[in-house]
Structure 1
Amino acid sequence: MKSLLTLCSIVFIAYNAHTQNIWIADNRPTAPTGTHIFADVTAAIAAASPGDIIHVIPSQFVYPDFTVTKDSLTIFGIGYNPNKEQPGISSITNVTIDIGTFGTRLSGLDISVLNIGTSATGSLGNIFIENCQVNSIEGNICCGETTVSNIIIRNCVLGQNQVSTTHTINLNDTDIFSTSVVITNNIIMGSSTTSSGGYGSINVTDAIVKNNLFIGNGSTNDFAFNNVQTSTISNNIFLGRQPISDARTGEVINCTFNNNITFGATINAFPTGNGNTASANQEGVDPVLVNVPIVDDWDFTYDPSPDTGSPAIGAGNDTNDIGVTGGTIPYSPTGTPLPVIQVLRLPEIIQEGTDTNATIEAEGN
């Protein structure tokens, strides 16, 4: 135990030697106190300097909405499905990244709506969103022109509780312009089906969309795209979700479709015309995943790995598997961005000055 505490002290000293401060947001009634601990993320941001880290402690309570107003902040939660005893998550209804803010990293959070930009003219970028569960990622579409550049969305569960009048990722709409977007190794759903039709899951331009799993229930209203232009779409699996545009406000134009698999949708063919090209795709072919039904919501008991005999195995344009378990950094079923202590067992009573035995089980990333 003494060795463990000594090691932790050494790690803490080494970490702070890089002049990077760590702040804590903890809204639990039992939260500890300290000059670095706050009841909400807004107060932690106010105390932080560019380049600092904010840990949002898992809680049974939803954290108040917050806006990122400083450059290069890293805001960590514990993941969307942590593998530990008595798991909790860090939930926020609305998170906004302000105009003029660059270098934001959000990881391991549960967010209902992530707003990219505010109702003002300006730019923001260098945004990294990973290991999060987000219902919708919305660019500012009102009251000012916003340019978003260099955004990575990786290893997230997106669109779980989407409503019928929005897109899951909306970065190409009225007053919002995006460049250099990477959307990779995510589970992607879409809007609820309605009598008036669905809304395409993704609305972007100048994007790389690769190694994602798009899921739907096979409805005529389940679309993967809306207004998608000059983008490369490769190594994805479309299961019950059509790989075409809903054509509500735009179309799929000048896009390249390579090494994708479609199955179980009303239309399984990729769009032709409008400058689109396609090669090495498998249309209407069962991807043979271990356990993912044709549904429009996600359950963490599902396993999106290719099963024995799957046509996805080794079939990507990088010779890795098609789907979320392929690519450079495969999808994680826990979304845990940091090492997590899964089990910690100590005696109920420890006498002062006496060594004791502890059982610690941890999972690292």
Structure 2
Amino acid sequence: MKRLISLSFLLVAFFAGFSQNIWIADNRPTAPTGAHIFADVTSAIAAASPGDIIHVIPSQFTYPNFTVTKDSLTFFGIGYNPNKEQPSVVFVTNVTIDVGVFGTRLSGINIATLFIGTSATGSLGNIFIENGEIDEIEGSNCCGQTTVSSIIIRNCILGQNLQGSNHVINLRDTYVSSTSVVITNNIIMGSNTTSSGGYGSISVTDAIIKNNLFLGNGSTTDFAFNDMQTSTISNNIFLGRQPITDATGGDVGNSTFNNNITFGAVNDTIPTGNGNTSNGDLINTDPLLVNVPIVDDWDFTYDPSPDTGSPAIGAGNDGNDIGVSGGTIPYSSTGSPLPVIQVLRLPEIIQEGTDTNATIEAEGN
């Protein structure tokens, strides 16, 4: 209880000066009660207004699926690997952002499948996804035509448990199109299926894809892309995952590759032709990361930082490192978007009317 009270105090202090309401979703049996506390996220959304914040408390239990139905809501979890004792996280099987909704931020929420849009025809956008472990971001929903604009996907673990004939990020398909997409500083894997020769990780249009680590096990079915058009791909490391399209019918076209490193795949060649260009890419060059094997599974003991002598150091087209340690906001190993209390020490007994000393140690992303 002491930890919960202190965490709530920090949240109020952190957001002091903002006009938003803060709502709490807490599905633990020991959850406190109150006018702003709900047992599920859907109830918190129903109470919230555009611009509000919903803080989802880490739990050993999976949260029920929910749909974001209001503009400008922010959802905070605790990330994918919080640095604290007995770390629970926030996990939801399916989250949907409804058509017509703009301004959603999902930070520190771990999700099996994130649906961008529904079966209805319409548009949505201004979406910010960060600090979560997400298996699939799916924008293809039969049978309405969905347009997604202005979406940022940052500092996530993507495709860790993806199975079947699916792409990790699918924003270009029969029923979905995308504009102004930014995919940056993520660990990106892919489906484990060997069907149709393997499924590429990303299908997208009009994207900036930079400072990611595309990770695979070097097999013939590990591809980075499915269908990608008019995009810029810069400062990424392709380790054991081919930087080309899969064999399911898509292609890579009219895109620019800058200062990427490829290594350990069946085919390490950057796709030129078809309107594509390659500038400063290092082909079949060991990136010399501190500790990342050529596998299609992520472990939080891995360290994707460039080791001494790595060709990635300072070699990006922005003067920073190639890979997830470069860019504007480098990859975080915890994904914690807000301060996390690691140590909280209080006297066992506090007499009324007396001062006391407390020790709080916290860490945030």
TM-score range, shorter chain: over 0.9
Map of 1:141 onto structure 2: 141
Which amino acid is 1:295 matched to? Answer: V
2:224 equivalent to 1:217: no
The alpha-carbon deviation at position 347 of structure 1 amounts to: 2.7
Which amino acid is 2:227 matched to? Answer: N
Map of 1:157 onto structure 2: 157
Cα distance in 2 for partners of 1:258, 1:169 equals 21
Cα distance in 2 for partners of 1:9, 1:88 equals 20
* Aligned 8 A contact 1:212 1:236 in 2: yes
Cα distance in 1 for partners of 2:210, 2:26 equals 35
The 1:297/1:13 distance shift into structure 2, 3 A limit, reads closer
The alpha-carbon deviation at position 9 of structure 1 amounts to: 7.0
Q: How does 1:317-336 map to 2 (within 5 A)?
A: 317-336=317-336
Which amino acid is 2:336 matched to? Answer: T
How many residues get paired?
A: 360
2:59 equivalent to 1:59: yes
TM-score (normalised: structure 2): 0.95
Map of 2:46 onto structure 1: 46
* Aligned 8 A contact 1:215 1:296 in 2: yes
* Aligned 8 A contact 2:113 2:138 in 1: yes
* Aligned 8 A contact 2:22 2:52 in 1: yes
Which amino acid is 2:274 matched to? Answer: N
Map of 1:361 onto structure 2: 361
Q: How does 1:111-126 map to 2 (within 5 A)?
A: 111-126=111-126
Map of 2:277 onto structure 1: 277
Which amino acid is 2:291 matched to? Answer: N
Percent of aligned pairs sharing the same letter: 77
Listed one character per residue, the Cα deviations across residues 191-220 of structure 1 (whole Å, up to 9, x for unaligned) are 104254210000000000000000000000
Map of 2:204 onto structure 1: 204
* Aligned 8 A contact 1:164 1:198 in 2: no
2:289 equivalent to 1:289: yes
2:77 equivalent to 1:96: no
Cα distance in 1 for partners of 2:288, 2:278 equals 22
Map of 1:186 onto structure 2: 186
Which amino acid is 1:337 matched to? Answer: P
* Aligned 8 A contact 1:227 1:247 in 2: no
Cα distance in 2 for partners of 1:129, 1:244 equals 25
* Aligned 8 A contact 1:111 1:134 in 2: yes
- Secondary structure in 2 aligned to 1:46? helix
Which amino acid is 2:144 matched to? Answer: G
Which segment is superposed worse, 282-291 or 353-362? 353-362
Listed one character per residue, the Cα deviations across residues 136-173 of structure 1 (whole Å, up to 9, x for unaligned) are 00003311000000000000000000113000000000
Map of 2:24 onto structure 1: 24
The 1:363/1:264 distance shift into structure 2, 3 A limit, reads same
- Secondary structure in 1 aligned to 2:42? helix
- Secondary structure in 1 aligned to 2:283? coil
Cα distance in 2 for partners of 1:287, 1:60 equals 37
Map of 2:250 onto structure 1: 250
Unaligned residue ranges in structure 1 (runs of 5+): none
Which amino acid is 2:285 matched to? Answer: V
TM-score (normalised: structure 1): 0.95
Cα distance in 2 for partners of 1:359, 1:213 equals 38
